[in-house]
Amino acid sequence: MNAITLDRPALDALHAQARWLSLLLAAIGLHVFESALPNLGPWFKPGLANIVTLLTLVMLGPRAAVSLALGRVLLGSMFIGTLLTPTFFLSLSGTIAATTVILAAWRWLPGTSLVGISLLGAMAHMVAQFVVVEHFYIQQPALYHLLPPMLLLSAVTGWINGALAAYLCARVRP
C-alpha cells in the first residue's frame, strides 16, 4: 500500500489563516450587530465592521483586507437575510468603494494615520451608496439632498472608528 504524503503548510501560514478567519468572524458579528441597531438614517450604519477591515490591513496586508471586506458583506448578508436585495447591493458597492479608497490612502497618502484613512473610507462608502441608489433604484437627482447630512454623520463615525482601529492595533499587533 502506497503511503500518501501531504505537504504540511508552514506554521506561519496557518497562523495567518487562523488570524484572518477570526477577524472575518469578528467582522461578520459586527455586521449582524449593526443591522440590529436602531435606525440612524436611510442607508446609514456606524461602520463598526470597517474597524476590522483596518485591523486586517495593518496586520495581514491589503489582499487579506479586501477578501475580508467582501467576505464579510457576503456572509453577513446571508446571516441577516438580505442577500441579493437592494440592501446587499448598497452594502457591497459601499464596501468596494471604501476598501478601494482605504487601500489607495494607505499606499499613497503619507502622514495619514488610520483615523484619516477611516475618514476617507467612510465618506467614500456613503457617496458610493448614493450613486448606486440614484442610478439603479430611485433615479431622481433630488435624492442628493440627503447626501450632505449623511456625509457629515459618516465623517464623524469614520473618524471615531479610525481612532478605535488604531487603539486596537496598538494592543493586538504582535
- Contact residues: other proteins, CB under 8 A: 39, 42-43, 85-87, 90, 109-113, 115-116, 119-120, 123, 133, 137-140, 142-149, 151-152, 155, 159-160, 162-164, 166-167, 170
Q: How far is the CB of 99 from other proteins (least distance, A)?
A: 18
What cell numbers appear for 79 in the block?
A: 446571516
56/118 with CB nearer other proteins: 118
Give min distance, CB of 42 to other proteins, in A: 5
Nearest to other proteins of 68, 114 (CB atom): 114
SS3 113: coil
173 backbone φψ class: left, alpha, beta (φ>0; ψ -120 to 50): beta
160 vs 171: CA distance, rounded Å: 17
Minimum distance from CB of 141 to other proteins (Å)?
Answer: 9
Q: Can you list the alpha helix ranges (DSSP code H) found in the chain?
A: 11-35, 49-60, 62-80, 86-108, 114-132, 147-172
Where b means 16+ CB within 10 Å and e means fewer, 57-94 reads bbbbeeebbbebbeebbebbbeebebeeeeebbbbbbb
Query: 61 or 149, CB closer to other proteins?
Result: 149
3-state secondary structure of 143: helix
Distance in Å, CB of 83 to other proteins, minimum: 12
- Pick the closer one to other proteins by CB: 24 or 105: 105
Nearer to other proteins, 67 or 87 (CB): 87
CB of 26 to other proteins, least distance (A): 19
Q: Are 18 and 126 in contact (CB under 8 A)?
A: no
